[in-house]
Amino acid sequence: MFKIIKWAIYIALIYFIGCFVVGLFSDDDESEEGATTETSVSENASDKETALSIDEQVKNLERGVSKNKKDTERPTNSTSGWGTGKVREISQTEFGSLVANYTTAKNRYIGKGAAVVDIYATWCGPCKMLSPIMDKMAKKYQGQVQFYKMDLEKSRNVQRAYNISSIPTLMFCKGSSIKIITGAPDESSLDALISEML
């Protein structure tokens, strides 16, 4: 009988020691796991804040907004830095806010600096030939002229407003006027048209 009680005490002690050890290590694992979760959540929050701030910075740069007071005090009609040196693809909606309100005042340019708009189609051979020339002109006139391109297939309202029946169609915009030509000019002709506009 004494041996049975002795073995029962040993088994109980081993059980309690085992529970204690397991509890000790499981608490550490849970706290480490919790710390890892907290760290990853805070890192993710930090990454999101960084991403948001980068997105906001890009949007502000595109809009010409700056946190610097001197930059914000600049007159709104200033065109310094106008023309990115690249041809920017725009949608029909962007055309309405960057070039002209084609529903109410289609011949009145509303941009802040000189611009050239290339209305093209992906299947158009002459449009494909004009594209690298537009890229070259965008680099040449960086800081002076903004270059846009708009897919005619995605801009049916603009097509109807301007009665565009031939592509490419180019719009030369300066001041408040818009000059429209059809066809793909060669490099020297396009250069001359842009120089004349400036």
- Residue 20 pLDDT: 60
> Do both 104 and 151 map to the same domain?
yes
Q: Which region among 5-9, 56-60, 118-122, 178-182 has the lowest average model confidence (pLDDT)? A: 56-60
User: What total number of domains does the chain contain?
Assistant: 2
> Do both 59 and 97 map to the same domain?
no
- Is residue 171 predicted with pLDDT exceeding 80? yes
Domain that holds residue 125: 87-197
> Do both 48 and 18 map to the same domain?
yes
**Catalytic residue from among 110, 124, 180, 193:** 124
Cα distance between residue 182 and residue 168, in whole Å: 6
User: Are the C-beta atoms of residues 139 and 150 closer than 8 Å to each other?
Assistant: no
Which pLDDT tens digit goes with each residue over 16-41?
A: 676 665 565 554 444 444 444 444 43
Q: Of residues 25 and 151, which shows the higher confidence score?
A: 151
> Do both 168 and 119 map to the same domain?
yes
User: Are the C-beta atoms of residues 121 and 153 closer than 8 Å to each other?
Assistant: yes
> Do both 92 and 70 map to the same domain?
no
> Do both 68 and 99 map to the same domain?
no
Is residue 184 in a domain?
A: yes
- Is residue 80 predicted with pLDDT exceeding 80? no
Single pTM value for the model: 0.58
* CATH for 110: 3.40.30.10
Is residue 23 in a domain?
A: yes
- Residue 53 pLDDT: 54
**Catalytic residue from among 90, 127, 145, 197:** 127
**What is the enclosing helix (H) or strand (E) of 82?**
none
Which pLDDT tens digit goes with each residue over 174-183?
A: 999 999 999 9
Is residue 105 in a domain?
A: yes
Q: How many Cβ atoms sit within 10 Å of the Cβ of residue 120?
A: 24
Among 23-27, 64-68, 70-74, 153-157, the range of highest mean pLDDT: 153-157
DSSP 106: T
Q: Which region among 18-27, 98-107, 173-182, 183-192 has the lowest average model confidence (pLDDT)? A: 18-27
Decide if 19 is catalytic: no
| Cβ contacts of 68 within 8 Å, gap of 6 or more | none
Neighbouring-strand partners of residue 179: 172
- Residue 198 pLDDT: 86
Is residue 82 in a domain?
A: no
State which of 23, 53, 74 marks the end of a domain.
74
> Do both 105 and 172 map to the same domain?
yes
